[in-house]
Each structure stands twice: as C-alpha cells, then as structure tokens.
Amino acid sequence: MARKVGVIIRVVSWDEFCAELQQDCKLFLFILGVFCLFRMGFIAVMHSFLGEAVTIKDIASALYYGLRISLKSAGLLVLVPLVCCTGLRLFFPWKKLSHLRFYLGVLYITVLSFLFQARIPYYQEFRMAFNQLLFNTLNDDVDAIFHTVVEQYNLPVRILVAGVIALLLCKVLRWWLTAKPFRFPRLPKWYQNIVLRAALLVVMYYLAIFVRFGGTMTYAYNIDWENSGVTKDQLLNEAILDDVQALYRAYVLHERVSSSTGLELEPARMTEYGNYLAGSPVNSVKLDDYLRKQVVAGTDAPPRQVFLIIAESYANWPLLPKYSNLNIANGMKDIIAQEDAAYVPNFLPNGMSTISGIMGIVTGLAEANLYLNCLPESYKEPYSTALAPQMKRLGYSSDFWYAGPASWEKIKDFTLAQGFEAFYGMGDFPGQSGNVWGSNDGDLYKAVLGQVNDEKPGFHVIVTVSNHSPYTVDLAKEGFDPAMVAAGLPDKLKENQELIKKLGHFWYADKMLAQFIIEARQKYPDSLFVVVGDHADRVNIETNPPMFERYAIPFIVYGQGISKETLSEQAAGSHINVTPTLLELVAPRGYEYYSVGRSLTNGNDFGMNYGFWITSGYMGKTDEENAEEHLAKQGMQPPDQDKIRREVDAARAISWWRIKFGKMLQAAKSI
C-alpha cells in the first residue's frame, strides 16, 4: 500500500510540474507577443521617421530580427517565475505560488507599457530608443525635465494611454493563464514514461539555448544589441531593440565608457598617449608636462572683451547652402560673410548633451562619461587645461552666463570651482519670458550687455537655452513668418506645424545671436566673438540625415584680428580645441598654456568626441571603419584607421586618467 501511495505522489508531482511548466511557456509567449506588438506599434506611430527608400522587406526584416532578440528578453523575464513558481513547486506544495506568476506578468506588462510610451518622445529627441544619457537624469534638472515632458510630450495623456493598454493586456493575460493546460501523456510502461520525460527535459534544454542565443543554437549566430542593426534605416534598427534590450544597451555603454573599456590604461601606455598629444617624447611622470604648449603666432593687440557663446542646439546644417531656402540662419551667415570672420563647419560637440559640451569647453578635457560636475576632484582646484584660469593669467576677468537656473547640473558651483570669477543665472537678471529651462535668449543677451565693464579686459562665456523643447518663445511677437520657412521645406513637410515651430526657434536663436554680436561689436569695437553649438542631433529636415548634417556644429570667430585666413579650409576639431584656438588668438607669442586639443590656427585638421571623428571632407564613427564623405574636394582621402585610433584613444585616455587618478601618471599601478 505504501508503494502505491509513493507512486501516486510521484505521478501527481510530475503532472503538477508539467502544468506549471506550461504556464511558464504561456507567459513567455505572451510577453514575447507584447514585445512584438509594441515593436509594430512603435514603427506605426513613428512611421514619419522612416526613410523614403524603406520597403516592406525592410520592415519585415526588422520584425524578424526583433522577434529573435526579444526571445532573449522574454526568456530573461520569465526566468523569475520559472524559478519561483515551477521550481519551488517541486519541493513545496504551495498552490498560491502559481498566483505569483500572474502578478509578475502584470508587473512586466505595466512596466513595458510605460516604457513604450517613454520610448516615443525619447526617440524624437535623441533618435535612439534609450541611451546612456538616462544615467545622467538625476544629475540634471529633474524638475525642468518633468515640465518639458509634460508640456512638450503630453505626459498625462501618455500615462493614461499606458495605463489603459496595460489594463487591457493584463485582462488578456488573466484569460490566457486560466486556460486549462494540456495533460502530459502517460504511457503504459514505466520505462516509456521515463524516456518521454527525459526527452521533454532535453527539449527544454535546447529550447533554452535557442532562446538564449536569440533564435539560433550557437553563439556564432547570436543576435544582440551590437549586431542587430541589419536594416539601412535608423528607425527600423532602433525598433529591432525592445525596451529591455535598449535599456541594457544604455547600461553597457555607460559602463563601457566609464571604465574606458578598450583602452590600455597602464602607465607605460599612458606615456605613449601623452607623447602623441605632445608631438614629441616627454620624459616625465607629470601628466601636465605632456599637455604644455606655447602660442605660435599670437597677437600684440589682444581684444579687450572676449565673448564665447555656446548656443543651445545650434547645429551646422542650417548654415549649409542646400538649406538656404529655409532662411533660419541668415543672421550668422551675414556675420560669417564679414571680412573679419572665419568659420569652420567641420566641428563636433564634446558629447551628446549640453553639460558635456560645457564640461569640454570649461575644462578642456575630452568626454569620458565621468560627469566632471559631480566629481569631488573638480571642486578642489581647476584642471590645468581649464579655460578661465588661463585667460585670467592674461589679465582677463571671467564671468559665466547661463540662461537657466544656477542649480542645473551644479553649473554655478562647477564653473566657479574651475576658475570663473562670477556666475549669473536666470535669477540674477530680469526676464519676462522663457520656459522651464531658462530665460529667452533676448533677455540673456540684454543682461550681458548691461553688465560688461569695459574698464578692464573681460572674458564672458554665454550659454543659451531658447532653442530647446518645449519651444515656448512667442515667435509671432518676435516677427517670425512661418510661410518663409515652409516655402523652403519639401512638399511633405510644408504643413508640419510642429517642425516649423522648431525651425522657428532656431531662427529666433540665430536672430538674437547675430543681433547681440552686432550690438556688442558696436559698443566694444576691439572685441572678439567665438560662437559654437553645444550639440546638434535634435532637429533635422531629412528623416535619416548623413552623420555630418546630424552631428556637426559650427565654430565661428569674428572680430578684432580675425581674417578669412585665420582658420584654414582644412581645419577641423571639437570642443577640446576651443581653448588652444582661443588662446592663440588673444595671447602673445610664446605664452605657455595647457590643453588636450590643438589649435585650429596651427593646422589642426582632425576632430573627435565620444563616438565620432571628423575632418574637412569625411566623418565616421570611432568604432567603425566606414567613412561618410561631406564637403570633400576632389582628391581628398579620409584619414587612415591608425591615425583615427591614436587621436581618439590618446585624447580620451589622457582625459580619463587625469579625472580618475590626478596629475601623476604613476599614481595608479593598475586598474
């Protein structure tokens, strides 16, 4: 009798195991279906971002590879109920464990529904389905971000829609999980049952491998976020990644750049990087010795007032001849056309955000994703490459003007710690308009002009915010004519009022910038103006623009001592080249300074940042060998991969080391 009871117990346990396993499989298929549903929804909602050359085959390919990569995401999510429900039921007869599976499913569906709603405005802003900038959110002005999302992207509506979608999907999930499971077949012979059960376990093992490698049985054909961009369209490539994979990508990129993965950060190797930046061998363990430079030509008549304007989202593409019919950059085009102006179109921002650009210009260090404004080292003393102290040694008093609040990204504390003598934020000057990010450009420029004291030389850094969502400038009041811009748009975009509004804010930013330069030059004739964008990659006419049109920003110098020959046609650079270029224009010959980058006045023809490089004719990604041609003259060739690698690795490695380990190359024996 005891033997029979034992057999009954074993049979019942197997049946329960099979029933629980079926429930896990059903949850897996459901979550996989949700991923696919949201993927199709994303493509449908964002179809206006699809390139004109996209075909049904491209969309089908994106859905196929998306299905494959979502196998991995769904498998990861279902692993928890597989262990907590099915696994524990093998040892504990707690039937309530089965309810946990449904609650976990509800949690997954709810989170994915809200991520789907967040992905849409995120892509509109960054052209990516989540990236490493997510990890800087808490360092940013959270309140301003919240108001921007509410006003620009209809947050309440998105929350409501996400809630409704989640509720409906949860109801479907409940019905799906309450469906009666199939009974596992029972054969007449005991050994037949053992074989059948063993076969099931083998099938489960191979299915797990199939799911783990994204629809293949070997790692050689594994699909992940790094190799999933198989289509020629950017939107489709981003659609392939579900939100779990996109968040994982953001995390990996953040960690990879933070730890400088891929660079040989040993002291001996760092000496090699330093020598490359120095241009000749330097026998020293002091990092600053590798960054020491001297002004080559210099000037005997330095400008009395120097204005460095970091213009919000001031991209280079509106300055290109092909977009002249839009009439949104006429102000700076007129400035560039002056005889005492020079312009470099081959220029890159330091990073993807405003604070990255500011850090690159203020400190002179290349983007290393270490958030200098949050590190204690940045508040002990200015870096030797910092711009303000080097201008101060020339006799300039320095002030920093930001149209937003002083609390944003610790910008007041950071700039003062890096050598600026005064800081002015939106609370320090009157402004009748603006948005959550700060005052309108017109109010900012007016305040600057009213504060400049011409009794002594002054260096003034100005950071604007008007050309930023949620785009609240009263354009009609400022004299903007939407028809003027619409006339230059392709037919399919002539009625796109949201795009015209964004372009109108570029027009306003350009108008205010040019107006300020003209007024300041009249008031201070012996002044110098340096204009650079903080970043681009926010608004474009083309759905999938070339890299140059998407990422490049202008570098413009105008004023005393400037001519068309000041900067050569081959000049190229990024934010780390601002300091050496500016010092070459205002300092006497032989003046000693420190910088990671080289001056554009001395023939620098290569620019780099967090992920791209640029020359006067080509641009490419630092981790790829392909190069896109732009503005290239006949006979020009892209730089070889060895030069690209050395330029990028040297600038980033030296910057990373200085931030992490300080001034001595022997400070850390290993990493």
Pair of tokens at residue 473: 């400038």
Rounded CA separation 530/548 (Å): 21
> What percent of the chain stands above pLDDT 70?
89
Q: Is 533 helix (H, G, I), strand (E, B) or coil?
A: strand
Rounded CA separation 110/420 (Å): 47
In 3D, which of 431, 510, 434 has the Cα closest to residue 470? 434
In this predicted structure, what is the pLDDT of residue 12?
40
* Number of helices followed by number of strands (H, E) in the chain: 21, 16
What contacts 425, CB < 8 A, 6 or more positions away? 402, 404, 405, 406, 411, 412, 438
- The string of DSSP codes covering 245-261 is HHHHHHHHHHHHHHTTT
CA–CA distances in Å: residue 547 to residues 509, 619, 620, 629: 23, 7, 7, 9
- Burial class (CB within 10 angstroms; exposed 0-12, middle 13-18, buried 19+) of 27: buried
Q: Which domains does the chain have, with CATH numbers?
A: 2-257 (no CATH), 295-639 (3.40.720.10)
Count CB atoms within 10 A of the CB of residue 87: 15
Cα–chain-centroid distance for residue 20?
43
Three-state SS letters, 439-460: ECHHHHHHHHHHHCCCCCCEEE
Contact of 50 with 119, CB cutoff 8 Å: no
In total, the chain counts a number of residues equal to 671
Q: Give 465-514 pLDDT, tens digit per residue.
A: 999 988 999 999 999 999 999 999 999 999 999 999 999 999 999 999 99
Cα–chain-centroid distance for residue 411?
19
Cα–chain-centroid distance for residue 195?
54
Rounded CA separation 549/542 (Å): 9
Q: Give 25-50 pLDDT, tens digit per residue.
A: 899 999 999 999 999 999 999 998 88
**How sure is the predictor about 379, in pLDDT bands with cuts at 50, 70 and 90?**
very high
In this predicted structure, what is the pLDDT of residue 269?
84
Amino acid at position 373, single letter:
N
In this predicted structure, what is the pLDDT of residue 670?
44
In this predicted structure, what is the pLDDT of residue 250?
84
Residue 1 has pLDDT above 50, yes or no: no
Q: What angle do CA 658, 249, 540 make, to 5 degrees?
A: 90
Pair of tokens at residue 144: 């301003």
In this predicted structure, what is the pLDDT of residue 420?
98
Rounded CA separation 576/595 (Å): 8
Contact of 530 with 557, CB cutoff 8 Å: yes
> What percent of the chain stands above pLDDT 90?
61
Q: Give 516-538 pLDDT, tens digit per residue.
A: 999 999 999 999 999 999 999 88
Rounded CA separation 493/542 (Å): 10
**How sure is the predictor about 8, in pLDDT bands with cuts at 50, 70 and 90?**
very low
Q: Average pLDDT over the chain, rounded to whole?
A: 88
Strand partners, 533: 311
Count CB atoms within 10 A of the CB of residue 586: 25
Ramachandran assignment for 220, one of left (phi > 0), alpha (psi -120 to 50 degrees), beta (any other): alpha
Q: Dihedral of CA 580/583/584/589: which sign?
A: negative
Residue 227 has pLDDT above 90, yes or no: no
Q: Give 614-650 pLDDT, tens digit per residue.
A: 999 999 999 888 899 998 776 788 999 999 999 999 9
Q: What is the dihedral of CA 648, 651, 654, 658, to 10 degrees?
A: -130
Ramachandran assignment for 3, one of left (phi > 0), alpha (psi -120 to 50 degrees), beta (any other): alpha
Count CB atoms within 10 A of the CB of residue 145: 14
In this predicted structure, what is the pLDDT of residue 230?
75
Pair of tokens at residue 671: 């990493």
